[in-house]
Structure 1
Amino acid sequence: MAGQKDRLFLAMTNFSLPIQGHFFQGIFFRRSFRWIWLALFCLFLSTATGEAFARDIKDMTGRTVSVPEQPARIFSLSYPLTVLLYALAPDLLVASNFPIAEPAKPFLPQQVTALPAIGAMMGMGPGHTMNPEEIMALHPDLLLAWVDPMGDTEKVVHPVAGSGLPIVYVKLTNLGDYPSALRFLGRLLGRTKRAEALATYIEFAQIQVSAAVESVPYKERVKVFYAEGHDGLSTECDASFHAESINFAGGRNVRHCRQTTLMGMETVTLEQIIADQPEIIVAQDPGFAKTVASDPAWKQVKGSQHVLSVPHLPFNWLDRPPSFMRALAIRWLAANFYPDRFSFDLRAELKTFHSLFFGVSLSDKDVDTILH
């Protein structure tokens, strides 16, 4: 390709027209034509490298956005979308939102663990809020934004709205959104085959679990308390996207309330939990999960003797960030909620899942680490 460009350049710059008249007039016109052809040559170069190509698409909110023909440098403004790109197209990311925890690194590809971390527009704590100037310094050609389930998407992207970069919104609230989001991103990024494989896996997991638990009457469904925080006294409302895996797996979340913030983490008293009498506790904090059964204050809660500790490697299976890890979570939960209705080989499935989503082969020891 370089040789062709060189020959074209020589042809263009040596091009002249027979011009009659004054000697200097001929030189002037020849030089003028050379500048014109040089400008056209530069246009050719930009076209040949794809920079001048652009196409209009509709993002997942219906907005029309002009994007590069083949995006090559992408930054995602939020955690859930970034984690999805770890599986779909990690080579296109220019940075991550957060540092990868050391215990998670053995279970992720080097392309992911080597990414610089510059924060997110939806900062989740000190040190994670991003400076828009850091984005521009990485020279991305496309920004991707998660559609905020609480309706503040425009506010979230406002700091970068004037950057001139195309911003494409992707809907990823619930696990059921993932197949469509993957296929959309596959078309956008030129990764349709891989996107289809990931989308199909998630769809199959949902079909498996739905077939096993959908016939369980609501009043007969296992009562579940979702415990968050070191003391277990934070939780998620039953309709919150943070806790959707519990509902999908056939659990009956005992906290009936309305999610008021994007972060969730509704506070609850032990007296309320005792009154709700959950049969199972799903615990996010490993320390709480280990000690709650022997804690005198929790003895009146039936579920304190049946605690499921949420796996966190390489990312949280249920939440924070919500991700495609829920395709594992719903089956893990269903198998624990209804062992007579749903069973599967979790250890074998972990190996299949990691091979497909992360390109990592797990050993038996790796599986032990993830589950314990």
Structure 2
Amino acid sequence: METTMRSLLLAVLLTLAALPSQARPFTDMAGRQIDIPAHPHRIFPAVTSVTVTLAALAPDLLVGLAFDLPEGAAGFLPPELARLPVVRVLESLDGERILATAPDLVVGWHGITQARAETVMARIGKPLLLVEGEVLARHPATFRLLGAALGRGERAEALARYLEDSQARLAAALAGLPDEARPRVYYAESPDGLTTQCSASTRLEVIRLAGGRPALECPGGGLSHSQQVDMETLLALDPDVILARDRRTAEQLAARPLWQKLRAVREGRLYASPTLPFNWFDRPPSFMRALGAQWLARLLHPTRFHTPIHVEARRFNELFFGVTPPEDALHRMLAP
């Protein structure tokens, strides 16, 4: 009899655990008042940048990833992330595949992907919480809002404070830097190096924060201002520094005879953006830019900094992802 009662009680508890949490009203960063679970415990990120944010704030609540983890990222991240299913969201937002992860809350981005996410979540009946992240300065508020939504306020505050403090330290180190001392930096975004972003793009935020100037000027503003240039244009620009999106691209470009005519290549100022556990510069544009700006600033203005970047990178990874990265992997990634 006692065994039967225990079995019944267990069945009731399991049934209750499977029921949706009681809803509560919540205002997201798009100003929308929505109903979210009182205690969300299964979260899906509807955009790549949010994957990075949630991997830092609440990896235990994630039920899926919006993109494949970079090669080598496992040593920098909690092991449970590598076991999550991947539902790629860049090309399309597959509502059925998201539904299969059984989320009780979906987190998206207030901006260019918002309308698509709202349509899909309305169709599959899942609450959508929108956050911001186009510029680094909004990420502290994003962490704090998600901390309030997910019951992780204390951790969110610690991460937000680091972002604010690190940017204040960086600005202080570069204070008084005249325009003529800011190197012109070209971003080689594509494998052939001829797709780039021009100066109005927020994707070049790291260059500006690090005390550089985008080499290619353009009017307007916004998240992405992709430009195709030809080799003749690039040779005429002859930037002081070239930044490639990853090490493979940097190595391939440095080996090409036409690229060797560029002063930055000849003088060893073609750099690869670090990519672990996620890209420090772009793709996806995330809070990792705070570390990317510190890395690039040390390359552009080495005499203004005293703490080696690998020391700051280790501290950053321990704080945001709870993992001490392998020292050899860290040094390989940061090697010139």
If the TM-score is normalised by the length of the shorter chain, which range does it land in? Answer: 0.7 to 0.9
Partner of 2:149: 188
Partner of 2:277: 314
Partner of 1:90: 59
| CA distance 1:259–1:92, shift in 2 (3 Å) | farther
Conservation of the 8 A alpha-carbon contact between 1:50 and 1:69? no
Conservation of the 8 A alpha-carbon contact between 1:209 and 1:342? no
Conservation of the 8 A alpha-carbon contact between 2:21 and 2:40? no
What is the identity, as a one-letter code, of the residue corresponding to 1:311? P
Partner of 1:28: none
Conservation of the 8 A alpha-carbon contact between 1:239 and 1:258? yes
| CA distance 1:256–1:263, shift in 2 (3 Å) | closer
SS class of match (2:258): helix
Partner of 1:250: 211
User: What's the CA shift string for 1:217-268, capped at 9, x where partnerless?
Assistant: 2243111111122221111111212111001111110111257996654211
Conservation of the 8 A alpha-carbon contact between 2:25 and 2:33? yes
RMSD between superposed Cα atoms in Å: 2.6
How far apart are residue 99 of structure 1 and its match? 2.4
> Equivalent of 1:105, from 74, 84, 88?
74
Partner of 2:102: 139
SS class of match (1:55): strand
> Equivalent of 2:87, from 96, 118, 124?
118
Partner of 1:13: none
Partner of 2:251: 290
Bigger Cα displacement from structure 2, 131-140 vs 180-189: 131-140
Conservation of the 8 A alpha-carbon contact between 1:99 and 1:116? no
> Equivalent of 1:359, from 316, 322, 325?
322
SS class of match (1:296): coil
Conservation of the 8 A alpha-carbon contact between 2:75 and 2:325? no
| CA distance 1:312–1:49, shift in 2 (3 Å) | closer
Conservation of the 8 A alpha-carbon contact between 1:50 and 1:70? no
How far apart are residue 292 of structure 1 and its match? 4.1
Conservation of the 8 A alpha-carbon contact between 2:201 and 2:224? no
SS class of match (1:168): strand
Does 1 or 2 have the higher relative contact order (CA < 8 Å, sep 6+)?
2
Partner of 1:23: none
| CA distance 1:161–1:262, shift in 2 (3 Å) | farther
Partner of 1:67: 36
1:348 lines up with 2:332 in the alignment: no
Query: Counterparts of 1:1-372 in structure 2 under 5 Å?
Result: 51=20, 53-120=22-89, 122-123=90-91, 129-148=92-111, 151-258=112-219, 264-293=225-254, 295-304=256-265, 305=267, 306-372=269-335
What is the identity, as a one-letter code, of the residue corresponding to 1:328? L
Q: TM-score, normalised by structure 1?
A: 0.80
Supply the distance in 2 between the matched residues of 1:134 and 1:98 (Cα, whole angstroms): 13
How far apart are residue 345 of structure 1 and its match? 1.5
How far apart are residue 323 of structure 1 and its match? 1.4
Supply the distance in 1 between the matched residues of 2:100 and 2:219 (Cα, whole angstroms): 40
| CA distance 1:354–1:308, shift in 2 (3 Å) | same
Supply the distance in 2 between the matched residues of 1:52 and 1:315 (Cα, whole angstroms): 32
SS class of match (2:25): strand
Q: TM-score, normalised by structure 2?
A: 0.88
Conservation of the 8 A alpha-carbon contact between 2:133 and 2:142? yes
Please say which structure displays the higher CA radius of gyration. 1
Conservation of the 8 A alpha-carbon contact between 1:225 and 1:280? yes
What is the identity, as a one-letter code, of the residue corresponding to 2:230? T
SS class of match (2:211): coil
- Structure 2: state its 5+ residue gaps: none
How far apart are residue 293 of structure 1 and its match? 4.5
SS class of match (1:257): coil
